[in-house]
Homo-oligomer: A and B are copies of this chain.
Amino acid sequence: MRVTVTSNTPTARRSERRLVTHAAILDAARSLFREGGYQRTTIRAIGREAGVDPALVIQHFGNKEALFEAASEIDFDLAEALPGPRDELSARVLEYMLTQLDKEPDALLATLRSMLTHQQAAHAARCAFLDDGATKISGVLDGEDAGLRSSLICTMLVGLMVTRHLLKLDDIVQAPTERLIELVEPCLRSLVEPERRLSDHG
């Protein structure tokens, strides 16, 4: 168990206990949703992990959907990587994503884990880094098909998140962040500046 509320001191005021319980449940939920995805994670298991009765979980969050929503609230905004020299845009975006993910944020990984099999997670993923991320990037690109190219950049980022943090491919997991940036940056660059793509040189 990662957190239990049994450690609440008897003298703790009720409202404090309530907050601790709330946090413990959220924490347990995030952890389990992250590892197993939405469907395989049960309220009972969340209660167990949090050291709390399953019924209490419902009391705090209403139902499983609402709990998932609360547990998968994401702190990830590609817009933060956009300002700066245009020439280093692809490196900035890539680095932002990799460093955010290297913190292994439970909420974000929970969303990613479930995005293929759960509507709400799919929607959250779009908002966080697919549709919305692409729109943001698209704003600083020019040339033909800026929308499509931005979507492709996001596609590559998602691919990397999936293989590195969910499927955990050996090579990708073990590679140092800097090496990944080195290798992937040219990929993104070719989408940022399609007019300068390699085939024009070779």
Q: Which of A's residues lie within 8 Å of B, judged by CB?
A: 36-37, 39-40, 87, 112-117, 122, 125-126, 130-131, 134, 145, 147-152, 154-160, 162-163, 166-167, 169-172, 175, 179-180, 183-191, 194, 196-199, 201-202
Contact = CB atoms under 8 A, between A and B. Distances in A.
Contacts of A170: 131
B197 A186 contact: yes
A134 B185 CA distance: 20
A160 B157 CA distance: 10
Contact of A167 (B114, B122, B172): B122
A158 B156 contact: no
Contacts of A186: 187, 190, 194, 197-199
Contact of A36 (B117, B158, B171, B189): B117
Contacts of A163: 130, 151, 154-155, 158
A112 B116 contact: yes
The 5 closest A-B pairs by CB, nearest first: A159-B159, A187-B187, A186-B190, A37-B117, A151-B171
A12 B71 CA distance: 55
A175 B156 contact: no
Contacts of A147: 171
Contact of A183 (B117, B134, B145, B202): B145
A130 B171 CA distance: 11
B169 A116 contact: no
A196 B198 contact: yes
B149 A159 contact: no
Contacts of A171: 134, 147-148, 150-151
Given A117-B36, A163-B130, A148 B175 contact: yes
Candidate in A112, A148, A150 with the most chain B CB atoms within 10 angstroms: A148
Contacts of A155: 156, 159-160, 162-163, 169, 172
